[in-house]
Structure 1
Amino acid sequence: MPSQGFSPETFAFLADLKANNSKEWFDAHKPDYQRVVKKPADALRADLAERLSALTGLETASKQFRINRDLRFSKDKTPYNAHIRMAFWPKGKAFEGRDAQPPSFFVSFEPGHIRLGTGCMAFSKAALGSYLQALESGGGGEIAGLLSALEANGFERSTPDLAKAPRGFPKDHAHTDLARHKGLAVWTTITDTAPATGDKTATFLVDTWKPTLAFWSWLLDLSRTA
């Protein structure tokens, strides 16, 4: 069933939380959180998972990240995340386990903008090996072409993890720059939050993801052969 999406109040709540990030403020406004964030986010996540299953042809798993921040190893002790983040990935044994990093669709609703992406945040060890092998053996041209098309469509490539290509990768290879990635994703920032309000929210998000489908499929094939 289509969700009703978020409302302008959702983004106003996130902005207020960012400005008043304390347990006291949050406790006092918890009914607002449940009404304008938690309930619509749960419905939207289910709606998006269903739509992405239809788009990809694969049953989709999903996760919404907790509003509470993990403070154990952080110098920043503000208790809450002033954003709503979700991830969606294909179900199946190939995408399970501690080391699994399946190709995913990501979205982050933040005060004043939406951040949306597709890809693998970090390849598993096996997938990284397959990725480098694909680059070296001729697959680099295909993925470079997909990335160039997405960049022309307003997406940006994730930042390389390494200053130079890993040991063993040919230094004079045409796709040395791509070999510097230990994960690969594309992102776009949407500064107008109005399309993410009302019952067209899910349609708008899936339409924004659609240009990344070929890139997602390339990563999917990579993870299946790893």
Structure 2
Amino acid sequence: MTEHGFQKETFAFLKALGANNSKDWFDANKSDYQRHVKEPTDVFRPAMNNALQTLTGHEMTSKQFRINRDLRFSKDKTPYNTHIRMAFWPVGASFQGRDAQPPSFFLSIEADTIRFGTGCMAFSKPVLGAYLTLLEKGEGNNISELLARMRSGGFDVSEPDLANPPRGFPKDRAYADLARHKGLAVWKHLPDTSSLEGGSAVTALTNAWKPTLPFWQYFADLQEKT
């Protein structure tokens, strides 16, 4: 195993799993899963966590999502995810609590692409309230400028959650469209999976996430003030 990185076999396994998504196949190839997926991820994730701590200046924590799919409410009964997904977010009193959903860094390693993102999929109630208050006061220019910068850098912005601004929000406000979001995140793809092979994986992703740091910091500051 290459330190802090993945292997060609990692992506080959994910591709093969996509073509053979069954318990019998997975059980027969579990040693390959351990060697080419689980073990590299267990080394990569803490190294990436440390790099994001240096990038943001915040203590970070992280999680890896399970390879087993939750089938309880899904019509698709294939048992396994065909990607490796992780999330990294800050530690601290203002980022804790049942309703807290701190701004995070998201990563999806797939058979033929690397998708990464930054932001908050769903604001906590206090942060959503603070966000809407900023917009209602006409102070959405900072958010709008951040999103414009992200788009000019090739990032996609998450779609609005609502068809219209929430009830009670003045529709004539300059940034009423931004009020349709219950969360905000930006997403991009790395050009090829080979950038995560070998010892350059952490550096490649740190550099990929670096342009999103002002966007992440804006919402980290908002949550800390809320």
Q: What TM-score do the two structures reach when normalised by structure 2?
A: 0.97
**Matched residue, 1:144:** 144
Which residue in 2 is equivalent to 1:38? 38
1:5-57 Cα offsets, whole Å, 9 max, x none, are: 01111111101101100000000111100111001011110001000001111
Contact persistence 2:8–2:197 (CA under 8 A): yes
Work out the percentage of aligned pairs sharing the same amino acid. Answer: 61
CA contact (8 A) 1:11 1:111 kept: yes
3-state SS of paired residue (1:80): coil
Q: Which residue of 1 aligns with 2:83?
A: 83
Equivalent residue for 2:177? 177
Contact 1:116 1:189 in 2 (8 A): yes
CA distance in 1, matches of 2:134, 2:37: 42
Structure 2 stretches lacking a partner, 5+ long: none
Letter in 2 for 1:121: M
Q: Partners of 1:26 and 1:161 in 2: how far apart? A: 36
Aligned residues: 225
Contact 1:156 1:187 in 2 (8 A): yes
**1:53 paired residue number:** 53
Kindly state the Cα deviation for residue 74 of structure 1 after the two structures are TM-superposed.
Answer: 1.1
Offset of residue 92 of structure 1: 1.3
Asked if the contact 1:130/1:225 (under 8 Å) is kept, the reply is: no
Question: Please, which runs of 5 or more residues in structure 1 have no aligned partner?
Answer: none
Q: Deviations over 1:81-118 (max 9, x none)?
A: 00000000001122122211000000000111011000
Larger deviation, residues 179-188 vs 131-140: 131-140
Q: Is the CA contact 1:112–1:191 (under 8 Å) kept in the aligned structure 2? A: no
Q: Do residues 115 (structure 1) and 115 (structure 2) align?
A: yes
1:160 has 2:164 as partner: no
Mapped partners of 2:139, 2:26: distance in 1: 49
Cα offsets for 1:124-173 (capped at 9, x unmatched): 11110001111222431001101101100010100100001111211111
Question: Residue 224 of structure 2 aligns with which residue?
Answer: 224
| More divergent stretch after superposition (131-140 vs 194-203) | 131-140
- In 2, Cα distance between equivalents of 1:36 and 1:88: 22
Runs of 4+ more than 6 Å apart = none
The amino acid of 2:40's aligned partner reads P
Shift in Å at residue 4 of structure 1?
3.2
User: What is the CA–CA distance in structure 1 between the aligned matches of 2:136 and 2:27, rounded to whole Å?
Assistant: 54
What is the distance in 2 between the residues matched to 1:217 and 1:189? 21
Cα pair 2:4 2:47 within 8 Å, conserved: no
Structure 2 counterpart SS, 1:149: helix
- State the Cα RMSD in Å: 1.1
Task: Using structure 1 for the length normalisation, give the TM-score.
Answer: 0.97
Q: Confirm or deny that 1:6 pairs with 2:6.
A: yes
Inter-partner Cα distance in structure 2 for 1:216 and 1:4: 24
